[in-house]
Structure 1
Amino acid sequence: MRPDIPTLLHDIFGFPAFRGVQEQVVGRVMARLPTLAIMPTGAGKSLCYQLPSAALDGCCVVVSPLIALMHDQLRAANAVGLRAASLTSVDADWRETQDRLRNGDLDLLYVAPERASQEGFRSLLRSAKVALFAIDEAHCVSEWGHDFRPDYRLLRPLLDEFPDVPRLALTATADAHTRKDILVQLGIPDDGLIISGFDRPNIRYAVHPRDGLSSQLADLVATHPGPGIVYAQTRAATEKMAETLGRGGRPVRAYHAGLDPAVRARNQAAFIASEDMVMVATVAFGMGIDKPDVRFVAHAGLPKSIEGYYQESGRAGRDGEPAVAHLFWGAEDFARARQRIMELDPSRQQGERTRIAALGALVETATCRRAILLRHFGESPPATCGNCDNCLSPPASVDATETARKYLSAVYRTGQSFGSGHIEAVLTGGVTDKLRERGHDKISVYGIVSGDETALLRPVSRALLVRDALETTEHGGLMLGPNARPILRGEEEVRILVPPKRERRKRNARNGAEANPVGDPLFDALRTCRRELAQEAGVPPYVIFHDSTLREMAEQRPTSLRDLGTISGVGQKKLDAWGDAFLAAIRPYL
């Protein structure tokens, strides 16, 4: 590796050393070797091309899927002194950007795959000096990926026209099948694959059945300070949840594709700039932002896949600080997902069933959630992580096989067309006109459940739906699913979790995810200083400095620009621009 790389790392980005596999990836780029880097969110993927862009002769062309993501990265790049621009449909300065590219006045140029794959863009690059192609969110190139973008598959001719220009593909989310497809589609040899692991140890995972969702979300929002994202499953649900959560006193906004574009843009800009706003959104929100200080992500329903959940929950804690990811699910989520599968092309149905089964394993497990996630991506994690709900409060489980057999028998003997309420009434010996009219008070399973076993009926029903032993009819009734037979025969055990009782926490309670857990007044002063500087500069506060940098300032209490420059995250341009302001904020606390 060239000796000036460590110097650039410190002077531009303010980092004393590389993290994880960054040095390995940057080393390959500098050696002009094609590379696919699989790095978890928050591991510093963008540095792997931003740093070489400052060291190499020419411009690094970055292919990125969303305009908002490009503009986020532009702000960060310009803040550290890199010469960066984008060519998108909303950029009015495109002529100036093209001139800067031809004249060698750009370190970084961000473009969407739709533009990068066109002949006109290739013609533009022929008149410039290209130093590197970086394909961000590279899982979009794969039909097997969860965010497939067809134009990503049209990038190969662009890359091949410049054979001497190294190519670097980056993603946080790709299983073995997707990784192989990316390598083939982008012309990267197998030995160019670098995997740093998928673990996000700063995120605490928790999964709960929905039980009064509004109350569950209100508790979560009240007890977790800092910015947060709540993912809802429909547009209508985002607005309803935003209105409900907004009554708790926190700033809350909604985001979905059906909103007026100007409203959507305002809401996103407000969230990016805020240090405590909650955004209730559909899952498309978040991929287009690079906000590092999101302290919690909540799913109000089942995600589409493990890959989707990993990426969406991974939008929390990108700064490496403690964060939480909560998933609230219901058995009806699985029923709807399986109904959607039946509408797909038959060639895709088995793959989707496998994805649903993987989600079922995640929500039903009594073991470590993180281990389930990491094993899905081919890793061999420890049995426990110490930072998920099951590791922190191991749940009890009970053998509910006999109750499950009774439940399935009741579904079968009542004609496989009634809902869960009717089935429970049959099993517990209920007295209703509906039961008498249909003669269900005379069948063999009537009244065979009583006492403590009654409390098992609802979780058993949920477990059977997750396992595909029950399915829902088009009218909302229950019928036997393909996995019912081995349970009815006693060949398969059904164990269900007994979740701990939910305790309603005091609002504004402190916890490990709070920005200032020790209540240091200097840290609060530094955050105020950062907020004022961000407003003056027209950038989000995290572009100035991350909380971790402010925390180190509060601990070290530097008295000079030289001392301030030794703190991680303080590069030369930021030191020149804002160093005096932060030293002034520190001075009263010396």
Structure 2
Amino acid sequence: MEEKRLLSTLKEYFGYDSFRPLQKKIITSIFEGKDNMVIMPTGGGKSICYQLPALLLPELTLVISPLIALMKDQVDGLTANGISAAFINSTQTESEQEDIYKRIEENSLKLLYVAPESLQIIDRFLSDGKISLIAIDEAHCISSWGHDFRPAYTQLGYLKNRFPSTPIVALTATADKATREDICNQLNIPHAQKHVASFDRKNLSLEVRPGTKRLEQILQFVETRKKESGIIYCLSRKNTEEVAAKLKAKGFKAEAYHAGLGHEERTQIQDDFINDSKQIICATIAFGMGIDKSNIRWVIHYNMPKNLEGYYQEIGRAGRDGLASETMLFHSYADVVQLQKFASNSKNEAVQIAKLDRMKQYSEALTCRRKILLNYFGELKQEDCGNCDICRNPPQFFDGTILAQKALSCIYRLKGAEPITVLIDVLRGAQNEAVLEKNYQQLTTYGIGKETSWRDWQQYIIQLINLGYIEIAFHKHNHLQLTSLSKAVLFESKKVQLAKIPTQQEIQESAEKVSKSKDNSLFEKLRQLRLKLAQEEGIPAYLIFNDATLKEMEKKRPMTDDDFMQINGVGRKKMQDYGYQFIKEIIAFSKEKRTKKKTSKGNTFKATKELLDEGLSVEEIAVKRKLATTTVYSHLAKLYEDGEQIDLHQFVSGPDLEAVRKAQIELEDPPALKTYYEHFEESISYWSIRLALTILKKE
């Protein structure tokens, strides 16, 4: 197939001027009649690899897909691009299916999506010349080595025998080496051309946080992202409902989504999410979303996933349009224990345990997370990524030998017969039932770690487990026991380096971000226009144009049909259907922008002062102005220094002010804020200290 025709078809129907890496190579191989195995990350452009050939091949392209929601989404997207496509499944009426059979007979259908369970329904309409291409999506489902094995997929091996001259293309976003080999063998395409795209989704930021106060952290996170869509994955149905209820109570459009809901209810929730009527879905990890939604801006894992394949696929649902998107994983000891139990009950226990261990290592890593993730999929990366929490805030190490000796001694005194919770309670000198009932208050190690917080002890002990000084006896109620390495620390003066635990204040400050899109931006106006058109047509907004296309319109401001056609994602049909309205909006915005004066830096302080004078609190000002609370506090300090009439004493208590005054005398050189903060052992917040120093300076 000549390149000129491929490129003109790509622009005409999909709106792109060039292929992404590997797409052209895969498409060329299909036209040569070869079988192909495609491993391409979510959002990497897998669909075009078979959708574009389908337009140029003479007969029907058959697509095997596991989820009804995904099929419907794909067909809606193709129809919006002017491509003849349909799907068949068990929910359709007889007359709806008859209409599709008629289109097959007339050769007026280019793509037909079918679930593996429905293959026998259409078998009588197909013969070896009638199908030009067979595409098997989510192909990892055929392998018991994969992370999402589905028995219905195992029948697909007959397709190559039934249609020997038809090329088969198997596609998946995640598969390690063993799974790739197994897929090809199961599908009877052992000699398939293998295409493995880069797994590096640079637009996804990666972050792991300790699993403490999860709901509080989630509420803080979504507060500055009120117009963005996101998914929260949970381990249990109960958690999905609890998180969704908490978000709803705070005014967010959130819904729980799990296998316990009825089919109609699940379908409605999915449709609402796709159509932006619902903003947040709290879903069970075990239940695949199957949503081809390109403008999901963030994914949170409330619990730790059971393997890196599942985690990678789930975070891959964010930022499919290529724009910057965020992912956050909460890691807790309790999740590891729960997943360990699940794995021990599975058929391939050894494989599951090994994969869980890799997931755990990723979560607890102190090195670039993207390197670990890419290395797992066989893509070796040397340099750090710069877009994960470790790269952004590399851990600071300190001599943790004494802390380690305290923890190890306490485990020895407890005779390795208690889990982490009791160990920490004994170290901190707690007086609860678990401690007093067994007379642990009599131990020499009782209370030797009371100066360290419960949360910090938990993190230090996890580090000691990772370093190999402590092991978890899963088969003995998760008791912590000493390893052979611990003797060197206890008796041979071996030094132990531990990573400093960030304070809650530091976590909060790094989490507080200014909302990315302003209400009066061109992007926001184009987004509103897109939503209005989508509602009128009854289709998801991103099927009109995705966020990346709107961002390019905002940047390039096309004001003629020719300029509009140069935007990535604008094909001929979409230009005809929507070009006029979008160009009109861009022209109107540009005129409005020219008449407005830019706000000066002084005005931003003034705006904070005016809201304060109206009686608003710092938190209310931050929400109203879409600023971080830390920014508002810095405004107040600057205004006070510049002589504005502001009573800073209302934000600093009398005892805190006196404590800072005393510390100023005790600490010889006027030190950095951080030194004050550590001097007070985190009992006074950063901003109380900063404002107190501002007051004292003026005095």
Q: Same fold (TM over 0.5)?
A: yes
Q: Tell me the CA shift for residue 531 of structure 1.
A: 1.1
Structure 1 match to 2:251: 249
**Greater shift after overlay, 443-452 or 40-49?**
443-452
Q: Tell me the CA shift for residue 330 of structure 1.
A: 0.7
Aligned: 1:588 with 2:592? no
- Cα distance in 2 for partners of 1:265, 1:60 equals 26
Q: CA RMSD in A?
A: 2.8
Structure 2 match to 1:90: 91
Q: Which amino acid aligns with 1:577?
A: D
Aligned: 1:239 with 2:224? no
Q: Which amino acid aligns with 1:309?
A: Y
- Cα distance in 2 for partners of 1:405, 1:48 equals 58
- Cα distance in 2 for partners of 1:433, 1:536 equals 62
Kindly tell me: are residues 298 and 260 of structure 1, through their superposed partners in 2, closer, same or farther at Cα, counting changes over 3 Å? same
Contact map agreement 1:408 1:480 (CA 8 A) in 2 = no
Structure 1 match to 2:59: 58
Structure 2 match to 1:510: 514
Kindly tell me: are residues 286 and 228 of structure 1, through their superposed partners in 2, closer, same or farther at Cα, counting changes over 3 Å? farther
Aligned: 1:102 with 2:101? no
Q: Which amino acid aligns with 2:344?
A: M
**Greater shift after overlay, 292-301 or 421-430?**
421-430
**Greater shift after overlay, 231-240 or 446-455?**
446-455
**Greater shift after overlay, 436-445 or 199-208?**
436-445
Structure 1 match to 2:28: 27
Q: Tell me the CA shift for residue 444 of structure 1.
A: 5.2
- Cα distance in 2 for partners of 1:272, 1:427 equals 50
Q: Tell me the CA shift for residue 448 of structure 1.
A: 4.7
Q: Which amino acid aligns with 2:118?
A: R
Structure 1 match to 2:457: 457
- Cα distance in 1 for partners of 2:509, 2:109 equals 52
Gaps of 5+ in 1: none
Kindly tell me: are residues 152 and 260 of structure 1, through their superposed partners in 2, closer, same or farther at Cα, counting changes over 3 Å? closer
**Greater shift after overlay, 445-454 or 316-325?**
445-454
Q: Tell me the CA shift for residue 164 of structure 1.
A: 1.4
Which structure has the greater CA radius of gyration? 2
Contact map agreement 1:428 1:454 (CA 8 A) in 2 = yes
Structure 2 match to 1:484: 483
Q: Tell me the CA shift for residue 36 of structure 1.
A: 0.6
Contact map agreement 1:203 1:325 (CA 8 A) in 2 = yes
Structure 2 match to 1:45: 46
Q: Which amino acid aligns with 1:108?
A: L
1:459 alignment partner, SS class: helix
1:469 alignment partner, SS class: strand
Q: Tell me the CA shift for residue 250 of structure 1.
A: 2.4
Kindly tell me: are residues 433 and 29 of structure 1, through their superposed partners in 2, closer, same or farther at Cα, counting changes over 3 Å? closer
1:155 alignment partner, SS class: helix
Kindly tell me: are residues 64 and 494 of structure 1, through their superposed partners in 2, closer, same or farther at Cα, counting changes over 3 Å? farther
Contact map agreement 1:223 1:507 (CA 8 A) in 2 = no
- Cα distance in 1 for partners of 2:192, 2:101 equals 35
2:208 alignment partner, SS class: strand
Kindly tell me: are residues 167 and 421 of structure 1, through their superposed partners in 2, closer, same or farther at Cα, counting changes over 3 Å? closer
2:55 alignment partner, SS class: helix
Contact map agreement 1:229 1:296 (CA 8 A) in 2 = yes
- Cα distance in 2 for partners of 1:566, 1:454 equals 58
Kindly tell me: are residues 581 and 443 of structure 1, through their superposed partners in 2, closer, same or farther at Cα, counting changes over 3 Å? closer
- Summarize deviations over 1:138-163 as a string: whole Å, max 9, x none: 11111100011122221121222211
Any residues of structure 2 matched to 1:91-490 within 5 Å, and which?
91-92=92-93, 93-116=96-119, 118=120, 120-126=121-127, 129-190=130-191, 192-224=193-225, 225-274=227-276, 277-284=279-286, 287-345=289-347, 348-398=348-398, 400=400, 403-404=403-404, 406-428=406-428, 435=435, 438-443=438-443, 445-449=445-449, 451=451, 457-463=457-463, 469-471=471-473, 478-480=478-480, 484-488=483-487, 490=489
2:267 alignment partner, SS class: helix
- Cα distance in 2 for partners of 1:373, 1:297 equals 16
Q: Tell me the CA shift for residue 244 of structure 1.
A: 0.7
Q: Tell me the CA shift for residue 249 of structure 1.
A: 2.7
Kindly tell me: are residues 436 and 74 of structure 1, through their superposed partners in 2, closer, same or farther at Cα, counting changes over 3 Å? closer
Contact map agreement 2:60 2:109 (CA 8 A) in 1 = yes
Aligned: 1:528 with 2:528? yes
Contact map agreement 1:487 1:493 (CA 8 A) in 2 = no
Kindly tell me: are residues 431 and 143 of structure 1, through their superposed partners in 2, closer, same or farther at Cα, counting changes over 3 Å? closer
Kindly tell me: are residues 578 and 428 of structure 1, through their superposed partners in 2, closer, same or farther at Cα, counting changes over 3 Å? closer
- Cα distance in 1 for partners of 2:266, 2:453 equals 49
Aligned: 1:16 with 2:17? yes
- Cα distance in 1 for partners of 2:498, 2:200 equals 27
- Cα distance in 2 for partners of 1:287, 1:434 equals 42
- Cα distance in 2 for partners of 1:216, 1:270 equals 25
- Cα distance in 2 for partners of 1:97, 1:128 equals 18
2:126 alignment partner, SS class: helix
Q: Which amino acid aligns with 2:351?
A: G
Aligned: 1:560 with 2:564? no
Kindly tell me: are residues 508 and 90 of structure 1, through their superposed partners in 2, closer, same or farther at Cα, counting changes over 3 Å? farther
- Cα distance in 2 for partners of 1:525, 1:432 equals 58
Figure out how many residues of one structure are paired with residues of the other and give that number.
Answer: 579
Contact map agreement 1:411 1:479 (CA 8 A) in 2 = no
- Summarize deviations over 1:236-268 as a string: whole Å, max 9, x none: 111111111123332111111112333222221
- Summarize deviations over 1:141-192 as a string: whole Å, max 9, x none: 1110001112222112122221111111111101111111112122334560
- Cα distance in 1 for partners of 2:237, 2:113 equals 30
- Cα distance in 2 for partners of 1:235, 1:431 equals 34
Q: Tell me the CA shift for residue 66 of structure 1.
A: 0.3
Q: Give the share of equivalent positions with the same residue, in percent.
A: 37
Q: Tell me the CA shift for residue 584 of structure 1.
A: 2.5
Q: Which amino acid aligns with 1:222?
A: E
Which of the pair is proportionally richer in helix? 2
1:366 alignment partner, SS class: coil
Kindly tell me: are residues 436 and 297 of structure 1, through their superposed partners in 2, closer, same or farther at Cα, counting changes over 3 Å? closer
TM-score for the superposition, normalised by structure 2: 0.77
Kindly tell me: are residues 426 and 588 of structure 1, through their superposed partners in 2, closer, same or farther at Cα, counting changes over 3 Å? closer
Kindly tell me: are residues 139 and 487 of structure 1, through their superposed partners in 2, closer, same or farther at Cα, counting changes over 3 Å? farther
- Cα distance in 2 for partners of 1:226, 1:435 equals 46
Kindly tell me: are residues 131 and 437 of structure 1, through their superposed partners in 2, closer, same or farther at Cα, counting changes over 3 Å? closer
Q: Tell me the CA shift for residue 587 of structure 1.
A: 3.1
- Cα distance in 1 for partners of 2:317, 2:159 equals 31
- Cα distance in 2 for partners of 1:433, 1:4 equals 76
TM-score for the superposition, normalised by structure 1: 0.91
Q: Tell me the CA shift for residue 47 of structure 1.
A: 0.6
- Cα distance in 2 for partners of 1:400, 1:357 equals 25
Contact map agreement 2:255 2:282 (CA 8 A) in 1 = yes
Kindly tell me: are residues 238 and 416 of structure 1, through their superposed partners in 2, closer, same or farther at Cα, counting changes over 3 Å? same
Q: Tell me the CA shift for residue 412 of structure 1.
A: 5.0
Structure 2 match to 1:537: 537
1:295 alignment partner, SS class: strand
Q: Tell me the CA shift for residue 78 of structure 1.
A: 0.6
- Summarize deviations over 1:170-223 as a string: whole Å, max 9, x none: 111011111111121223345600111111100000001112111011011112
Contact map agreement 1:470 1:479 (CA 8 A) in 2 = yes
Contact map agreement 1:238 1:280 (CA 8 A) in 2 = yes
Kindly tell me: are residues 194 and 333 of structure 1, through their superposed partners in 2, closer, same or farther at Cα, counting changes over 3 Å? same
- Summarize deviations over 1:334-389 as a string: whole Å, max 9, x none: 112222333334xx222122112111211111111111100111111133101011
Kindly tell me: are residues 425 and 283 of structure 1, through their superposed partners in 2, closer, same or farther at Cα, counting changes over 3 Å? closer
Q: Tell me the CA shift for residue 559 of structure 1.
A: 3.0
Kindly tell me: are residues 303 and 430 of structure 1, through their superposed partners in 2, closer, same or farther at Cα, counting changes over 3 Å? closer
Q: Tell me the CA shift for residue 550 of structure 1.
A: 1.7
**Greater shift after overlay, 180-189 or 487-496?**
487-496
- Cα distance in 1 for partners of 2:501, 2:435 equals 32
Q: Which amino acid aligns with 1:535?
A: Q
Kindly tell me: are residues 559 and 299 of structure 1, through their superposed partners in 2, closer, same or farther at Cα, counting changes over 3 Å? same
Kindly tell me: are residues 146 and 434 of structure 1, through their superposed partners in 2, closer, same or farther at Cα, counting changes over 3 Å? closer
Kindly tell me: are residues 399 and 172 of structure 1, through their superposed partners in 2, closer, same or farther at Cα, counting changes over 3 Å? farther
Q: Tell me the CA shift for residue 9 of structure 1.
A: 0.7
**Greater shift after overlay, 37-46 or 241-250?**
241-250
Contact map agreement 1:122 1:158 (CA 8 A) in 2 = no
**Greater shift after overlay, 253-262 or 105-114?**
253-262
